Structures are given as C-alpha cells and as structure tokens.
Amino acid sequence: MDSSATAQILIVEDDRPSQLYLQNLLTRWGYPNRVADTAEMALELLYQTPFHIVITDWILPGKSGVDFIEQIRKDRHLDYIYTILLTARSSTNDYHAAMEKGADDFLIKPVAENELRIRLRVAERIMNYQQELKNYAQRLSQAVQDIQTLGGFIHMCSYCNSIYTPQEKWLDVSRYLQEHANITVSHGICPACIPKVYPAHQDE
C-alpha cells in the first residue's frame, strides 16, 4: 500500500452486532471498510478490491476463519494481505493453530478499542514496509531490463555524462542511479580536477 494512503479493511463476520461494532470503530478511525458474512463472500470481494487488511472471526458459516486465511495465503492471484483473527478461544494450541494457518495477528473477543487500534497501526507499518520492498524490487527489475535492452552496455554522453535509456530520453547520471538503483550520489571534486576548476590553486 502507498504510505500516504489509508489501509482498506475487509471485515469477515456473520454476527450483526459484531459487524456494526467493528464498522463503527474503523469508520471513526478513518479506515475504508466493507463487510462479508462468509469466507466465500469475502474471497469474491478480495478479487474485486485491493484490501490491505482482513479482520475475520474464527467461527463462520461454511469455511472457518482460519481456513479462509490459509486459502488467502495459497492464492497466488492475491497480493499479501495482513490478517487479524478474532476469536473467543484463548488457548495456546488455538494461537499456534492460527499462526500455522497464516494469521498475522490474533485477538481475543471481546476486542478492546485501544488494542485493535494499536494492532492496526502495526499492520499498516508492516504493509507500508512491504510496499517499499515491492517498489524497490520493481525498480531493480526495471534497471536490469534496461541494461539488458541496451545489450549489456550503458550509453553515456562523453561530454556531459548523461545516460541514454530505452525510453529514449537522456538522464543525468546521478538521477539515473537514483531512479534505477536507489543510489544517492554525493558530489565532490577529485584532486585531478581541482586545477581545472580552480586554476588559482594549481600550485598549492
């Protein structure tokens, strides 16, 4: 997700009072949200809308919340979605089972407002970090593709050191490195160039 955007959240819960409670909280905190009564309905919504976080109850009609999370993890058509499992179960075995199925977090009902809000902030930080990694991987892939397109060579102007890209534009070498390799160039003057730039200091 874009770090400047607000996470979109899908609530998977068949209990109407619980739906309203979660929706009211998320809306008050500024999170766009939708509700699904079943895992099957939730999966359809995930294919239609890029939700970043799923909050699901464990017990649902049909497929359970943990099985739904497992299905999300195995679905290669979906980007990574942060999942929070809500349940009245509190045993260590239940917690381990949820984590093994792919849940990112586990909250025991009834859910306290402050607890849920803190967990959502953690989820947003993780999703933003993941998006940064994804963007970096895309830039790196594009840089490799550009070099391969150029035949393994970088075409550089011998006068101004601009670099020619496959997009048919010339870029300053500093900008090229920053855009394609995430490298920030620090400028200075080497000893050999000082007399050329500052002739007065040639004999110093």
Q: What is the pLDDT of residues 54-106, one digit of tens each?
A: 999 999 999 999 999 999 999 999 999 999 999 998 889 999 999 999 999 99
Residue by residue, DSSP assigns 152-178 as T--EE-TTT--EEETTTEEE-HHHHHH
Q: Does residue 145 lie in a domain region?
A: no
Can you give the pLDDT at residue 4?
Answer: 46
Q: Which of 132, 163, 186 is the last residue of a domain?
A: 132
Q: Does residue 54 lie in a domain region?
A: yes
Q: What are the distances in angstroms from CA 129 to CA 120, 135, 167? A: 14, 10, 29
State the DSSP H helix or E strand holding residue 36, giving kind and residue range, or none if neither: strand 33-36
- Please check whether residues 117 and 158 belong to one and the same domain: no
- Please check whether residues 161 and 73 belong to one and the same domain: no
Q: Does residue 138 lie in a domain region?
A: no
- Please check whether residues 178 and 115 belong to one and the same domain: no
Q: Does residue 140 lie in a domain region?
A: no
Q: Categorize the per-residue pLDDT at 148 as very low, low, confident or very high, splitting at 50, 70 and 90.
A: low
- Please check whether residues 93 and 179 belong to one and the same domain: no
Poorest-confidence range of 60-64, 112-116, 187-191? Answer: 187-191
- Please check whether residues 201 and 120 belong to one and the same domain: no
- Please check whether residues 76 and 121 belong to one and the same domain: yes
Considering the chain, what percentage of its residues have pLDDT values greater than 90?
Answer: 55
- Region 175-193: what's the mean pLDDT? 70
- Please check whether residues 115 and 197 belong to one and the same domain: no
117: containing domain = 9-132
Question: What value does the mean pLDDT of the chain take?
Answer: 85
Poorest-confidence range of 38-47, 87-96, 109-118, 166-175? Answer: 166-175
Give 118-139 pLDDT, tens digit per residue.
999 999 999 988 888 888 888 7
Q: Does residue 144 lie in a domain region?
A: no
Q: Categorize the per-residue pLDDT at 181 as very low, low, confident or very high, splitting at 50, 70 and 90.
A: low
The CATH number assigned to the domain holding 47 equals 3.40.50.2300
Q: Would you say residue 189 has pLDDT above 80? A: no
Can you give the pLDDT at residue 170?
Answer: 83
Q: Does residue 139 lie in a domain region?
A: no
- Please check whether residues 175 and 112 belong to one and the same domain: no
Q: Does residue 43 lie in a domain region?
A: yes
- Please check whether residues 53 and 105 belong to one and the same domain: yes
Residue bearing the bigger pLDDT, 150 or 196: 196
Q: Would you say residue 204 has pLDDT above 60? A: no
- Please check whether residues 167 and 126 belong to one and the same domain: no
Q: Does residue 86 lie in a domain region?
A: yes
- Please check whether residues 108 and 78 belong to one and the same domain: yes
Cα 155 to Cα 149: distance, rounded to the nearest angstrom:
11
Burial class (CB in 10 A: 0-12, 13-18, 19+), 190: exposed
Residue bearing the bigger pLDDT, 112 or 141: 112
> SS3 breakdown of the chain: % helix, strand, coil, rounded to 5?
45, 15, 40
- Please check whether residues 79 and 39 belong to one and the same domain: yes
